[in-house]
């Protein structure tokens, strides 16, 4: 598809409504913040044409409410310093773009590949480096049909998925004039402090690879069926979660696609992100995440019940390791995890699959005053072999953004086992 033309209507800098107190100007990054790549995580919310509200009113509401919420999330209006150790919370402000896109919104939503949503993000910004610039960039896009999209690129140096959801929900509540006061706590460094022997950090973000993204939906009925099969076949593991069973199936289908292309099985490595709240308090904003994962060394390992059992075992092991840890122990855990990851010999594996779930975080209920989004998604991932899990806006299902190489995607999207339980959001 030829990318729809976009025209910038206005470009502004939105500053916090109230100045940041001098005592909060210097914000130390946590160890997890420090070792994260400095890329912008790009998320977008598509909304049907708002009633009784024109685009200028909408932009005015978003600008004013953004200024107010930045008084509480002052960190996002600062500057990430290039030594990666702190943020200068100098009220520099957030870049806000209002853009007109010359096509109906349906042209984006009905395209089979998720890649086309990149048009609703600032040009060349998704997954690029956020060093020496504001941690947050926002864009309001409006389409010929009257539909709108609100997108945000927020630096992974200062937020994880949980923190991103807290910020966006608080911003939406302020836009709707809900009577409350946000209470974010930028205290991640007090729980996972930056240590003297911190590992080497990435100087930038990886070069984008040639790959494509598609979104698949697991309906609630398909997930129940998949849970029953996995629970029965695994024998010992009970009450599988929807993300667990969907992850196991997608990993299997990804490996099968790779096998069909190469003609042989090769061992794989995979990981999944876990929120560390608790033991870290729920109001902590920043990066409070850890990873669990495992390997599949034989074809028997990629059978659905075996993948699921490995997934559950790895997750429970990490939960046990994190339980009741004090501040020093949490930091030591993160450092150990990082070093172990760096020591893995990747040439032993045919592929590495990364999985992230932002389910149950309230993204699909974000309402700025004109209803819930008809779709929530992200820009095309900068890395191949990636599965991102989101809540299905219409119910209890799951949407998954699958990012693979073009060749693997051709095999993957025709996998009969996949299509028994998941459907492409757009055919």
Cis omega (within 30 of 0) on the bond before 83?
no
The token pair at 275 is 């929120």
The token pair at 181 is 């006061």
What one-character DSSP code corresponds to residue 235? S
Q: Among all chains, which residue has been given the structure tokens 């044409």? A: 49
Q: How far apart are CA 346 and CA 341, in angstroms?
A: 10
Roughly how many angstroms between the first and final C-alpha of the chain, as a whole number?
Answer: 15
Q: How far apart are CA 151 and CA 379, in angstroms?
A: 10
- Give strand ranges (E) for 48-135: 79-80, 86-88, 94-101
**Structural contact between residues 353 and 388, judged by C-beta atoms closer than 8 angstroms:** no
**Structural contact between residues 239 and 311, judged by C-beta atoms closer than 8 angstroms:** no
Catalytic one of 91, 233, 367, 407: 367
Angle, helices 220-234 vs 242-262, to 10°: value is 80
- Three-class SS of residue 320? helix
The token pair at 362 is 């309230």
CB neighbour list of residue 55: distance below 8 Å, 6 or more residues apart: 142, 148
The token pair at 240 is 């599988």
Catalytic one of 27, 156, 272, 333: 156
Q: Cα angle at 186 between 392 and 136, to 5 degrees? A: 60
Q: Is 211 a catalytic residue?
A: no
**Structural contact between residues 354 and 387, judged by C-beta atoms closer than 8 angstroms:** yes
Q: Is 156 a catalytic residue?
A: yes
Write the CA distances from 72 to 5, 85, 133, integer angstroms: 35, 21, 19
What one-character DSSP code corresponds to residue 185? B
- Give strand ranges (E) for 336-408: 351-357, 375-378, 386-391, 398-405
Q: How far apart are CA 108 and CA 114, in angstroms?
A: 8
CB neighbour list of residue 57: distance below 8 Å, 6 or more residues apart: none
Catalytic residues: 156, 367
């Amino acid at each position: 598809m030829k990318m729809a033309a976009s025209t910038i209507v206005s470009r502004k800098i939105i500053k916090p409504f109230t100045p940041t107190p001098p005592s909060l100007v210097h914000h130390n990054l946590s160890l997890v913040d420090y070792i994260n790549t400095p890329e912008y995580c790009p998320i977008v919310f598509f909304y049907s044409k708002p009633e009784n509200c024109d685009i200028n009113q909408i932009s005015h509401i978003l600008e004013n409410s953004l200024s107010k919420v930045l008084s509480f999330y002052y960190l996002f209006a600062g500057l990430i310093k290039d030594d990666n150790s702190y943020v200068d919370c100098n009220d520099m402000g957030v870049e806000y773009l209002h853009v007109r896109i010359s096509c109906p919104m349906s042209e984006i939503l009905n395209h089979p590949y998720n890649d086309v949503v990149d048009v609703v993000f600032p040009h060349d910004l998704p997954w690029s480096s956020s060093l020496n610039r504001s941690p947050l960039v926002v864009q309001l896009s409006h389409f010929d049909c009257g539909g709108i999209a609100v997108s945000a690129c927020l630096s992974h140096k200062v937020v994880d998925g949980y923190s991103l959801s807290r910020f966006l929900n608080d911003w939406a509540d302020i836009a709707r004039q809900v009577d409350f006061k946000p209470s974010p706590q930028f205290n991640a460094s007090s729980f996972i402090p930056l240590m003297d022997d911190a590992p080497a950090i990435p100087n930038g973000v990886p070069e984008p690879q040639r790959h494509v993204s598609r979104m698949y939906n697991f309906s609630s009925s398909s997930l129940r069926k998949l849970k029953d099969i996995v629970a029965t076949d695994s024998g010992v593991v009970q009450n599988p979660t929807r993300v667990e069973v969907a992850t196991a199936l997608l990993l299997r289908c990804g490996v099968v696609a790779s096998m069909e292309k190469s003609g042989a099985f090769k061992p794989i490595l995979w990981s999944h992100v876990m929120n560390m709240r608790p033991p870290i308090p729920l109001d902590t904003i920043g990066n409070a995440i850890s990873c669990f994962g495992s390997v599949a060394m034989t074809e028997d390992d990629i059978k659905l019940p075996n993948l699921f059992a490995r997934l559950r075992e790895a997750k429970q092991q990490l939960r046990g390791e994190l339980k009741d840890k004090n501040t020093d122990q949490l930091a030591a855990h993160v450092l150990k995890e990082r070093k172990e990851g760096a020591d893995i010999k990747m040439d032993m594996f045919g592929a590495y699959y990364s999985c992230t779930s932002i389910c149950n975080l309230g993204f699909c209920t974000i309402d700025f005053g004109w209803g819930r989004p008809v779709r929530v998604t992200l820009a095309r991932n900068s890395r191949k072999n990636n599965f991102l899990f989101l809540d299905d806006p219409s119910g209890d299902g799951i949407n998954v953004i699958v990012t693979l190489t073009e060749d693997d995607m051709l095999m993957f999207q025709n996998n009969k086992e996949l299509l028994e339980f998941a459907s492409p959001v757009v055919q």
